[in-house]
Structure 1
Amino acid sequence: MDSQDRNHGKRSRHWIRVRRVLTLALATAAVGLACVPLPDAPDPPPITEDGTPGPDAPNIVFVLLDDLDETATPYWDAMPATKALVADTGRSFTESFSPTPICCPARASILTGQYGHNTGVLTNGGEQGGWETFTEGGGEDRAVSVHLQQRGYRTMFVGKYLNGYEEV
C-alpha cells in the first residue's frame, strides 16, 4: 500500500467522524427544539348562547376585486367618471402577491387558504377550472365563510364567485 492510499484512508475516516459528530449535533438540536414550548394561541372570540359571536368578536368585511389594472381593463374608457375617481382617490399596491395569475385559481386559493394547485382549480373553466371544479373538489366546504359560520358569524356573498356557477 503506498502513501497515497494511506492518506485517502485517513481522509475517509476523518470525514466519517465529522459526519457522525454533525449528525449527533443536529439530532441533539432537534430534540432540544422539540422540547421548547410554543406560546398558546389566543382564544377565539366566544360565541354567545344564541350562536352569534360575542361582543369582542371583530366585524369582518372582505372585499375581493380583480382586473382593476388600467392596462388590463379596457372598460375604463366607458366609465370616465369612475376612472377619474379611482385614479384620484384609489390606491396602488405595488408590493402585492397572488398565488396564481389566473382569476379562478386565485379566488379558490384566497377562499380556502390553499395554493391554487391544491384546490384543484387550475384554470378559469372546463374540467380543471371554475365553480364546478371548486365545488366538486370540496372547495365550498373548506371556504373561509364556512369557518366563520362555525364561529357564529353570518356570511354573505355578492357578485362574481367563480366562472361557470349555476343560475339562481
Structure 2
Amino acid sequence: MKYAIDRKLAGFILFFWVVPVLALYSQSATVQTIDFRQLQERIEKTSADSIMVINFWATWCKPCIEEIPVLEKIPGMYKGTAVKVLLVSLDFTDQIEQKLVPFVKSNGIASEVLVLDEAHPNNWIPKVDPSWSGAIPACLFVYKSKTLFHEGKVTLKAIESTMNQLIP
C-alpha cells in the first residue's frame, strides 16, 4: 500500500512541479541579430499601421533593466490600438546565448528582442535621432511618418505623454 501512495505522490510532483518547470526552461527565447538597415526596414514596414516603440538597451545597463517592466506594459495600455514594442539590445553578439537569451527567459519578456549588430555607432545613432547622444536607455516612438524620441529611462507618465502625441 505504501508503494501506491508514493507512486501517487510522485505523479503529483511530476505533473504539478516538474512538468511546468521543464516547460518554462524549454521555451526558447528567440533573439534575432539584425543590422541597422534591417531595423529601419522593420520600422518602416510596421509603423504604417501600428505604433512602434523601439527601445535601445543592454543587459549591462541598470536603468535599461529597470524600465523593461514598464515597456512590457505598453501594449496592454492601449487596447484597440496596434502597438508593437521592439527591444533592441546593444549587447555584444558573442554574448547572446550566454547572457541575453537567459535574461529574456528568466524575466519572461514578451516583447520581441533584437540584437543590433553594428560596429560603428556614430554611423547609425544620428539616423535614429539627431539629438541622441548615444546613451542608453533610449526610446524611439514611431507612427506612420511621425517620430518622437526619448533619451533616458522612461516612466509610465512619459510613455503616456508621448503616445498621446502620436495617437491621432
Name the TM-score, length of structure 1 as normaliser: 0.22
Q: Which has the higher contact order (CA 8 A, sep 6+)?
A: 2
Name the TM-score, length of structure 2 as normaliser: 0.22
Q: Quick check: which one's strand share is greater? A: 2
